[in-house]
Amino acid sequence: MPSNRRLFPFLIAAVVVVLDRLTKVIIKAHVSAFDSITVIPGLLNIVHTENPGIAFGMLSNASGAWRGILLIGFSSAVLIAISAVLLRGQMDAWLRAGLGFILGGAFGNLYDRIVNGTVTDFVEAHAGQHYFPAFNVADSAITVGACLLLLDMWWARERKVSHVSEVNIDR
């Protein structure tokens, strides 16, 4: 496989990490904890929260030492597994891109967790009084990556069904 295809997901991951770090540094420098800046009234705010848990604040109340060990260990295992899959061989471009986004997002949040013990979240979406938990660039990248993986699985299934149909028609 050409080296540029092999490096493409790592380039995506690097861009995600840089954007994640940059936005978190800006938020920490310019938005006080628990402040809220309205970007789109009734829809989007910029906030500054520190999440000691995982997605949506799960595990926030777990014991600090065990929580940290568990989350750092799990994140590290994900980074190693994704890197191994990416270095292993051939795969569709959408799958490589999706894994690159997930790799960058996982690394961005892992960095925060190791350095600060928490993950900085700052985007808050809501509709009226219904609020979605705050998130960050790394979380967004993980979500985009997961969506790309789902699309790749769907397209692979469609290709397989199409191939099976073509084989059956030829008989």
pLDDT digits (tens, 9 = 90+) for 34-93: 789 999 998 999 999 998 766 655 555 556 666 667 778 888 888 898 988 888 877 888
Residues annotated catalytic, as ranges? 121, 139
Helix (H, G, I), strand (E, B) or coil at 61: coil
Residue 104 to residue 20: CA distance in whole angstroms = 9
Q: Which residues contact 120 (CB under 8 A, 6 or more apart)?
A: 24, 27, 28, 48, 49, 50, 51, 112, 136
How many whole angstroms separate alpha carbon 94 and alpha carbon 58?
Answer: 30
Could you tell me which residue, 88 or 31, shows the higher pLDDT? 31
Q: How far apart are the first and last CA of the chain?
A: 35
Range of the domain at 152: 3-170
Q: Which long-range contacts (CB under 8 A, 24 or more apart) does 88-93 make?
A: 89/1, 90/1, 92/152, 92/155, 92/156, 93/5, 93/8
The band of 9, judged by pLDDT with boundaries at 50, 70 and 90, is very high
Which residues, in sequence order, are CB contacts of 9 under 8 Å at separation 6+?
86, 96, 97, 99, 100, 103
The structural domain count of the chain equals 1
> What's residue 119's pLDDT?
92
Pairwise pLDDT comparison (19 vs 152), residue with the higher score: 19
Position 47: which residue type? V
Determine phi and psi for 46, rounding to 5 degrees: -105, 130
